[in-house]
Structure 1
């Protein structure tokens, strides 16, 4: 009861001071934007863009966009003759290689790109051998052409970025108890 009276008095004081006090629904957080630089991915630039688009069409809490001029990317993508691999510095930040060895062995390039972006988005390798699991990586058969994350992988990325999204400046409003 004392708490309610205090809240009512606080509202009255704030109103006298010209502060508008209203009940408000929590605003939905905007998707966190991660910028990637594929300029050093050589012949794989289009495949890298396709891998980003695959994630963008399936998750809501994060979006992968090509880095605009003058901005530092969160993610850098390279091409080399080795095996695909990713190095993360933190959630949503790092670099990865589109390795020609896997492509030459017959693995599907869009699946490789989506898989490596999956690591940047916080997903570990899961050696299930199932084509339906994007993060099964090379344990799935070479014939696997599924580049799409499954429902569990999508939910994991959305969960990881639900609380780490950059929150824009906004007005906080007292809504009572």
Structure 2
């Protein structure tokens, strides 16, 4: 009789543990690994973007609505956006295909360029996302082509190039890192 009681108690304990695992979910080796298909996050800080700050947020949303392998998220520790009076172009990005760096916008050059300010902002984020200028500069269908245009929507080829560029990329690591060797050639080079 003692054995039967012990057996039932042990069986009840095992069933209880299994029920708890079923409710909570058992950890698996796969769940402990980072997902390769998860979107990479690039943080941007528009605190120094002055009057262009709303356009910076709008540009991030434009890219986020068109791509799934990378996300632009307002925060610190990534891309710093700065607006100044004068510079060498309407905007410049310190890197192509990176998660840390600086985008500079220049008020006077944006006005003189004839391009829509939102297009300029989307264009510079395109560099951060891995895109270079295509050979057909001035093509208003491509935000990376510059030009005296208002179109701020990346075309299908630009969106696909960003998707390819970030697909399977390693997740960024904390702290300073030289990403040039990790990210290699820009996505639209020669397109």
**TM-score after normalising by structure 1:** 0.70
Distance 1:101 1:158, change over 3 A: same
The 10-residue stretch of structure 1 (85-94 or 126-135) with the greater mean CA deviation from structure 2: 85-94
Q: CA deviation at 1:93?
A: 2.5
Q: Given that residues 30 and 165 in structure 1 are in contact (C-alpha distance below 8 angstroms), is that contact kept between their aligned partners in structure 2?
A: no
Name 1:96's counterpart in structure 2: 103
For residues 79-100 of structure 1, give each alpha carbon's deviation from its aligned partner in whole angstroms, at most 9, with x where no partner exists: 0122211101762331111211
Q: CA deviation at 1:29?
A: 1.6
Q: Given that residues 81 and 104 in structure 2 are in contact (C-alpha distance below 8 angstroms), is that contact kept between their aligned partners in structure 1?
A: yes
For residues 25-56 of structure 1, give each alpha carbon's deviation from its aligned partner in whole angstroms, at most 9, with x where no partner exists: xx672211111000000111001111111100
In 1, Cα distance between equivalents of 2:78 and 2:120: 19
Name 1:119's counterpart in structure 2: 127
Return 5+ residue gaps in structure 2 as ranges: 1-27, 173-191
Return 5+ residue gaps in structure 1 as ranges: 1-19, 168-177
Pick 1 or 2: higher relative contact order, CA cutoff 8 A, min separation 6. Answer: 1
Please report the RMSD computed on the Cα atoms of aligned residues, expressed in angstroms.
Answer: 2.4
1:155 to 148, 157, 160: 160
What is the number of equivalent residue pairs in this alignment?
A: 137
1:131 to 140, 147, 172: 140
